[in-house]
Amino acid sequence: RQDEDQLIIDAGQKQFGAQSCGSCGMVYSADNPEDTFQHSQFHQRFLDAIKYVGWKKERVVAHFWDGKILLVMPDDPKYAIKKAEEVRQVADSELGFQQVALSRPAQAKTYLFINSDKMVVGCLVAEPIRKAFRVLLQPDQEKDMRRDDFMERHRAWCCSTVPEHAVCGISRIWVFSLARRHAIATRMMDTLRSTFIYGSHLTKEEIAFSDPTPDGKLFATKYTDT
Ligand code: ACO
Ligand code: ZN
């Protein structure tokens, strides 16, 4: 049964020629010259952007068996700022952001996850904030909400109008497509909480996600629940 399914998938991919590049993760159709060209344009540029050559001075804030997390601050050497910006642009173009300025660039902190192959496979940009508006959960996710209350249900799709205390805003979080679901985002968040403010550990409630994507919502819901 499983073999049958696999054959159907393979046949489908052959038909459309869809394949995912094993190094850059781009999905494209090898039969389509335009697609193949786009991939060739993207491939090397992407790999160069996420390549980490090693810095004279690096601020390692966490070590793992499969990599490490570096923190880049606004006053760091040019090479560090440049790499952080390069990776942020990769993330932005994937998120469909045009040119979103940081609200307080001088206070932004960028966390980069470097894997054992010396690639920047994760990026988290955080800024200090004071207030946040909670994205209200969908009714079936909210535990103590009365399901028959129309107003409640309706409201549940929107943002709260009551500002809540928050300390740190996640302006972007991104993980390389081929490295997802290995807790890289989780580990960047945990590291952020213990290093964003020197000498203090932020609770999950003190952190807000700005304008999350569907992926971002799934991750944030899971992360803040556990
Ligand atoms: N679908 C369902 N559940 C998910 C997903 C998903 N796509 N992503 C994460 N989760 C949940 C899972 O429960 C997961 O645990 P599991 O793998 O054991 O089931 C848990 O969250 C932890 O996930 P991580 O492995 O730590 O997350 P990951 O390293 O894969 O990164 C991220 C998540 C950053 C959202 C990644 O999917 C990504 O870069 N997506 C594209 C960019 C994007 O949309 N970023 C968020 C923008 S919002 C913002 O920047 C404020
Ligand atoms: Zn490629």
Q: What is the pLDDT of residues 127-159, one digit of tens each?
A: 999 888 777 665 554 444 454 554 444 444 467
Which one is predicted more confidently, 162 or 143? 162
215 lines ligand 1 (CB under 6 A): yes
Of 188, 215, 221, the one to substitute when testing ligand 1's pocket (max ligand atoms within 8 A of C-beta) is 215
**Which run of H or E residues covers position 72?**
strand 67-72
Structural domain boundaries in the chain: 1-50, 56-130+166-225
Q: What are the tens digits of pLDDT across the range 61-87?
A: 999 999 999 999 999 999 999 999 999
Q: What are the tens digits of pLDDT across the range 168-187?
A: 999 999 999 999 999 999 99
Beta carbons of 125 and 89 less than 8 angstroms apart: no
177 lines ligand 1 (CB under 6 A): no
Please report the ipTM that was assigned to this predicted complex. 0.98
Which three-class secondary structure state does DSSP give residue 4? Answer: helix
Which of the 8 DSSP states describes residue 106? G
Residues with CB under 5 A from ligand 2 (ion): 21, 24, 43
Q: Which atom of ligand 1 is nearest to the CA of 186?
A: 26
Q: Which residue has the tokens 């045009």?
A: 98
Q: Which atom of ligand 1 is nearest to the CA of 180?
A: 30
Tokens of 213: 């994507």
For 56-130+166-225, CATH number out of 3.30.1390.10, 3.90.1150.10, 3.40.630.30, 3.40.50.410 equals 3.40.630.30
- Gap from CA of 40 to ligand 2 centroid (Å): 7
147 lines ligand 1 (CB under 6 A): no
Model pLDDT, residue 172: 93
**In whole angstroms, how large is the CA radius of gyration of the chain?**
20
Ligand of minimum distance to the alpha carbon of 208: 1
Model pLDDT, residue 95: 86
